[in-house]
Amino acid sequence: MNPILTAIQKSAIRIKHAIDVKDIGYSQEQNSSGETQLQLDIQSDLIIEEELSQIEGVHTIASEEKEEPMILNENGHYFIAFDPLDGSSLVDVNLSVGSIFGIYEGAFTPEKMVASCYVVYGPRVELVFAYEGKVKLYLLQNGEFEYVKEIHLNEKGKINAPGGTQQCWAPFHKTMIDSFFARGYRLRYSGGMVPDLHQILLKGGGLFSYPGASDKPEGKLRMLFEVFPFAFIFETAGGKAVDGTIRVLEKNPRHVHDTSPCFFGSCDEINEVISVYAGQQ
């Protein structure tokens, strides 16, 4: 696992540099989710591909920015799915963005997941790595990632980060979100899931939601590139991740780019989501 973590760290340093210096232009290309790719999306994807290609143990990679999975080494046993630049449309307004990685052994199915990782490119560059039952935070200092601390979620938090278009939410979903606010939860939503979830993890807990709604019945966030890696991190940190009804890590995408509704948080909030959604079945 160490060589993979090192490759991710090298990628992160290169991507941070690209964000700092690169023009923020759009390319002529669309990705499989129908989004027009930024030059930075494509460049970040190529940086990670290049770094992971140097690691012998990596069998296959899959990326938000690649139509199909790409085999790197038939003899490797790690399968790595990544979102090279999450929140890329926020770079032009200088909000925090990230990179997300899910690491599997043998296949891209959640029961084969062994580690996951994300990097936040904010005022500082931080990396969070979940592996062997622990979630560890690292900070980039003088060109190296230094270990900071372990991350644990509290039973209950104070943050509410509701994603999606409100006018398209189901009425019961809106009632649930409103009721968290009515109990003093504070709105925190930047539009980048990496900083939004990072905030919940570091402030002890809360709720992030991206539901299925009338405009997007299966939500927006992609299982392999966004939902599974964060679900693994939240569960390892003592929280939960569900689609409203079941653990997202019990779902299986039929296609690489499939999405799922998702709720991440501490146990108290997610238990409430499950009971509200159960009342609607």
Q: Which stretch binds Mn ion (CB under 5 A): 16-24, 85-93, 141-149, 229-237?
A: 85-93
* Tokens, residue 35: 């989004």
81 with 102: CB under 8 angstroms? yes
Interface with ligand AHG: number of residues (CB under 6 A): 13
CB of 13 vs ligand AHG, minimal distance in Å: 20
Q: How far apart are CA 101 and CA 67, in angstroms?
A: 17
φ/ψ of 109, rounded to 5, equals -125, 145
| Among residues 45, 49, 51, 86, the one that binds ligand AHG under rule CB under 6 A | 86
Site string for ligand AHG, 148-187 (x = CB under 6 A): ---------------xx-----------------------
Q: How far apart are CA 277 and CA 245, in angstroms?
A: 7
| Among residues 102, 110, 157, 192, the one that binds ligand AHG under rule CB under 6 A | 192
End-to-end CA separation in angstroms for the chain: 42
189 is in an annotated binding site: yes
Residue 128's closest CA among 120, 137, 115, 116?
A: 137
192 binds, among Mn ion, ligand AHG, none (CB under 5 to 8 A by kind): ligand AHG
Residue 83's closest CA among 67, 70, 98?
A: 98
Interface residues with ligand AHG (CB under 6 A) are: 35, 64, 83, 86-89, 163-164, 191-193, 220
Q: Which residues are annotated as a binding site for substrate?
A: 86-89, 189, 220
